[in-house]
Every structure is written in structure tokens, then in C-alpha cells.
Amino acid sequence: MTTLSVIVALALAAIGAVAGSYLGRRALRGHILSATAASEAAESALAAQRQDTREHLQVQGLILESMDDGVLLFDEEGSTVFANRAAEALLETAPADVGSLLPLDLQKAVQRAGYVGSEQRAEAEIGTPSRVLRATATPAGSEGAVLLVVRDVTEALRIDLVRRDFVTNASHELKTPAAAIQAAAETLSTVVDEDPSAVPRFAHQLQRESLRLSRIVADLLDLSRLESGSQSSEPVRLDAVVREECSRSADLVRDAGITLTINAGAVPPVLGSARDLALLVRNLVDNAIRYTKSGGSIVAAVDTSDDQVILTVRDTGIGIASRELPRVFERFYRVDRARSRETGGTGLGLAIVKHVAENLGGSVNVQSELGSGSTFEVRLPAYAPGP
């Protein structure tokens, strides 16, 4: 081999070594870049997952904090892991653990749920004035953790009691005239032949009881309609409504031997239903007539003050005992049941007055003293038309 050949071979070998080294480094760099890209992608995906988790937890927290129900989570050792604001408000404190959870009935429910591994329910009273709490303790996993959900059912129980009382009272009120009508009709069918002179008396009884029954039904229908809110809204002059309704009561006032005075100057209109306002005035005036003895007086006045229209019905009647005042606006509640039935009252008039006033954004209150008459005051917002 010549010297030139050796030199050429050595050069080629050197070039090959350099090329191999370069290609190796390039491949290594490619592997490194690929690994770096994969790592960055994984890190980005992990960061996105963490962000999603944080957002998910924030949404969960927001939902739990916005709930009206109290939610508490106790771990297997009985320590409080979570309690939302509603739980603290309902229980009047956030318990640190099951042992400090009050009322005791709720504590027992949580302990039993963790011990037996099944859902437990409890109901307890708390606070002053008393509130009723209804709770459900549910096992959360197999380690002994317990989720407690607490709800204030005070208002629901009150509404249920009112509903049951209403059904009972309505049934009784409807049954009384119905039974009287039935008895009078049966007696009438007998006396037609045996004692014709007694027919007018029983016919009058039939008419009286049927009128009473129709009044009760009409008031129930009005009350039902009002409980769903006022259906129409227009400017109404309350002073004009008072004059019209007092005029309609003229015969009743004369027969009762009392005087009715109207003090109703021009006042701003109120926004509401003319039909409902007439119902409000009629029931207040009728109530005053029924409970005012002969020789007494009634004053119906309409005035305005501080962007309000004020209706006042004052009588010199039998008055109301102070202990009765909180209940006078209840359905079927009567201060003097015998007198109310004797004069044809249904026991629903003042409940209707309250519903009308509240539907129109107003209020009604009463001041009275037994033996010295009563004053009912209705305040309604005055209507101010826009420019």
C-alpha cells in the first residue's frame, strides 16, 4: 500500500468518526428534546388537572355554602372536617367534633350512623324562640365518617298546622249551617201537613242558614283567590271606595241603631284592585257594625302621611282583650263566637283584610281595649305616577 493510500484511509476513518460522533450527538439531543417536550406536556396536563380540581372544589364549596340546609362532615374519629355557614347558623355554633354537637338528639344520630352503618334521622328543638330542626345522618364510606344534613322545618310545621286547623275549622263552619238546613228541611216536610202555621218560621230558618252558608263559601273563595296574590293593578281612589262601601252599609247601620261617620278627603290613589280594596273596606266596616251595640258609633277615615294612604275604622264596640289581639287576623278566629254567629259573621273577614293589605304592599294593625272599642288601621303605599 502506498503512502498516499494510507493517508486517504486515515482521512476517511477520521471523517467517519467525526460524522458518527455528530450523528450520535444529534440523536441524543433529539431524545433529550423529546423527553423535555413530553415532560412539559405532562406538567402542563397536571397543572390543567390541578386547576380543574381547584375550580371543581370551589364550585362544590360555593354550592355547599349557598345551601339553606346545614351540612357537616365528621371523620372516623368524630372530628368535624367540614361545616358550612348554614350549619353554624342553624346550630348557633360550629361544633369541633361529634361530642360538642347539640342538640343531643343530633349527636346520637351521628354516633349511631357511624356505628351501625345506616342512615339515621332525628328531630329536635333549639333556641329561643324555639325552632325545630330535622336532621339526617348518613355514613360516608366504610371508615366510619358521617355526613349530617340539618334543615329548619319550623315554618313548614307551622304551615302544616295552619292547614290542618283550617281544614278542621272550615269543616266545622260548613257543617253547622248544613246540619241546620237539613234539620229545618226535615221538620218543614213534617209540619206542612201537621202545623201549617209553623211553616214560615222554618222557612225563615232555612233562608238564614243558607245565606250564612253562602257567605262562608264566598269568603273562602275570596280568601283562596287572595292567597295567590292580586290579579289586577290600577290607580284606585280609596276615599271613593270608602264612601261607596259605607253607603251600601246604610241599612245595616240603621238596623243596628248606630251612627257611621265618614271623614274621607281627597287623597292620592293607591295601586291595586278596586274589587279587593272594596272587599277590605267592606269587611272592616261590617266587623265594626257587628261588634258595636245600639247607640254606639263608627268613624271611617282616610288620610295620607309619608307617601302612604291611611284608612282608619274606629268603633265604640265591645273591644278586644289584649290576649286576643295577636290572633284576630287568623282565619275563623272570633273574639265573641256567639255574637259573630248571631250577626252572620263567618270569622274570615279580618283574614281577608290582612291578605288584601299585604298583597298591595301595605299592612294592617289593631288597637283595642276590652269594653272601649277598637281601631283598625290600614296603611297602603300611595301611587306616584312617573313623569
Provide the pairing of β-strand 131-139 with 297-305: unpaired
Identify the DSSP state of 77. T
State the pLDDT at residue 8.
47
Q: How many residues does the chain have?
A: 387
Q: 10 Å Cβ neighbour count for 182?
A: 12
Contacts of 70 (CB under 8 A, 6+ apart): 83, 84, 86, 87, 88, 89, 90, 91, 148, 149, 150, 151
Q: First CA to last CA across the chain, in angstroms?
A: 117
Following DSSP, what letter does each residue of 264-299 receive, concatenated? Answer: E-----EEE-HHHHHHHHHHHHHHHHHTS-TT-EEE
Q: Is the dihedral of CA 98, 103, 107, 113 positive or negative?
A: negative
Residue 137 CA to residue 149 CA, distance in Å, equals 7
Question: For each of the chain's 387 residues, which pLDDT tens digit applies?
Answer: 555 565 545 555 555 554 555 555 666 566 666 766 666 776 776 666 666 555 555 555 667 777 889 999 999 999 999 999 999 999 998 899 999 999 999 999 999 999 998 999 999 999 888 999 999 999 987 788 999 999 999 999 988 887 787 778 778 778 888 888 888 888 888 887 788 888 888 888 888 888 888 888 888 888 888 887 766 789 999 999 999 999 999 999 999 999 999 998 889 999 999 999 999 999 999 999 999 999 999 999 999 998 999 999 999 999 998 888 988 998 888 776 555 555 557 788 999 999 999 999 999 999 999 989 999 999 999 988 765
State the pLDDT at residue 270.
95
Contacts of 77 (CB under 8 A, 6+ apart): none
State the pLDDT at residue 340.
54
Confirm whether pTM is higher than 0.85.
no
State the pLDDT at residue 173.
78
User: 317 burial class (0-12, 13-18, 19+ CB within 10 angstroms)?
Assistant: buried
CB 355 within 8 A of CB 266: no
- With H, G, I as helix, E, B as strand and everything else as coil, classify residue 102: coil
Half-sphere exposure of 147 (CA within 13 A, CB side): 10
Residue 302 CA to residue 237 CA, distance in Å, equals 10
Residue 299 CA to residue 263 CA, distance in Å, equals 7
Q: Which residues pair with 83 in a beta bridge?
A: 72
CB 286 within 8 A of CB 249: yes
Q: 10 Å Cβ neighbour count for 60?
A: 10
Tell me the CA distances in angstroms from 177 to 1, 26, 75, 128, 174, one per residue in order. 141, 107, 63, 42, 6
State the pLDDT at residue 233.
84
- With H, G, I as helix, E, B as strand and everything else as coil, classify residue 126: strand
User: 127 burial class (0-12, 13-18, 19+ CB within 10 angstroms)?
Assistant: middle
User: 326 burial class (0-12, 13-18, 19+ CB within 10 angstroms)?
Assistant: exposed
CB 135 within 8 A of CB 149: yes
Following DSSP, what letter does each residue of 152-172 receive, concatenated? Answer: E-HHHHHHHHHHHHHHHHHHH
Provide the pairing of β-strand 70-74 with 146-152: antiparallel
Q: What are phi and psi of 263, to 5 degrees?
A: -120, 85
- With H, G, I as helix, E, B as strand and everything else as coil, classify residue 137: strand
